[in-house]
Amino acid sequence: MNKKKICLVTNWYPSKENPYQGLFFREQAIALADYFDFVVLHYKHTNKVLTGKSTLELVKKEANITEYNSEIVSSKMQAKMRRLFLGDKHYTEYVYHEFMKLLSDEQIDVLYSVSAQSEAILCAALAKAVGKPYVLAEHAPFPWPGTVITKEKKEAIEGASAFLAISCDKVRQIMMQDIKLPKIYYVGNMVDEELFSCKKSVNEIKTFVAVGANSFYKNYPMLIDTFNRLTEITDVPFKLMIVGFRANKGYSKDSTELERAFLESKFAKNLELVPSVSHEEMPGIYARADAFVMTSIQEGQPVSAIEAGCCGLPIFSTRCGGVEDYVTDDVGRIVDVLDSAGLAQYLKAFLENKICFDSIKIREAVKVKFGKEAFIQAMIHAMNSV
């Protein structure tokens, strides 16, 4: 089979310095190995005064992925000289064209960025330089807090050949910026149901698990408030695991203060803190839990929730985006953002067996929408349409 080659333009990808960053993009690429090859392009821009040339450094090859570090170099002096002697008014286009020559042996079919607001302009410029289509997705809050979407970004997003949606809420966020998205393909995020299996709980005391870096939008203060309330309204014992709050560099901030807040909480004696854990260990984490809890202000399509659901855990979450696409009363419960009292009441009902769930039904609901095969078929359909 003649496989298409996708150039993934992103710095949101695992690196030596930050192995947890964008880990699921690597896993998704490997899952698509029978259908696509990937070129991962880490990049930085450098504006040098004197003449300079862009560089491309091979980082590694694994499975169907070739990974490069690159420096896209422009020069004020070179731009001035080209305008003076060649009448070249399109120096920037020339820079991208020369840079893409370095990748010519890769024979790229389509360029793809997982963060439209961060990389749409770059992705569009690189695609134009080689006359190839580009597709976009968005996994981050849109727009990033405290930022605005420029006219150039808007035009680059609207000019894509396709938009790969991870959730209905993410589409809404983007369209609320008066952006006319290209054709939308719902691909969600992926969970490998072979790795994340459903196991019967053997806990004598019901155990909750919360997973996430310590970012403000994960809203750990609400989680603390919720479980403080739960301690006050039920006599049923419980445990809580907090996993990964130190894991992602750049996202996890003030973790020492967070840890102190947990240890000073009313449920401290019921608490297990797991600051950092490899992804390979996560199935074992979920196997020790009875339910998943998330108190985020916003999410794209949270991977931790679909992994927990694939393991048969009911999902108790705020209405933060993504979860609304699949969390029905058969899968868990959703409360409004900041409704710690409502969430505590649902957790109480679960502890006291007043609401119960079928773990097999939960797993199937997640698998049919986000399982490996569902994700692969959605990506094949989207990319082949381009």
> Taking Cα atoms as reference points, which of 154, 162, 143, 161 lies closest to residue 179?
154
Same domain, yes or no: 377 and 326: no
Q: Tokens for 59?
A: 């980082």
pLDDT digits (tens, 9 = 90+) for 47-79: 876 667 899 999 999 989 999 999 999 888 787
Same domain, yes or no: 312 and 344: yes
144 DSSP assignment: P
Q: How many domains is the chain partitioned into structurally? A: 2
Q: Is residue 381 situated within a structural domain?
A: yes
Output the CA–CA distances (angstroms, integers) from residue 41 to 58, 68, 119, 123, 270, in the order listed.
Answer: 10, 5, 12, 11, 44
94 DSSP assignment: H
Same domain, yes or no: 140 and 211: no
Print the domain residue range for 326: 207-369
pLDDT digits (tens, 9 = 90+) for 315-325: 999 999 999 99
Same domain, yes or no: 236 and 288: yes
Q: Tokens for 330?
A: 């058969």
Which own/partner pairs from 280-286 qualify as long-range (CB within 8 Å, at least 24 positions apart)?
A: 282/196, 282/211, 282/243, 282/307, 283/195, 283/196, 283/197, 283/307, 283/311, 285/209, 285/211, 285/241, 285/243, 286/196, 286/209, 286/311, 286/313
Q: Is residue 198 situated within a structural domain?
A: no
CA distance 93 to 106: 20
Same domain, yes or no: 159 and 246: no
Q: What pTM does this model have?
A: 0.93
Contact 140, 117 (CB under 8 A): yes
pLDDT digits (tens, 9 = 90+) for 344-385: 999 999 999 999 999 999 999 999 999 999 999 999 999 999
353 DSSP assignment: T
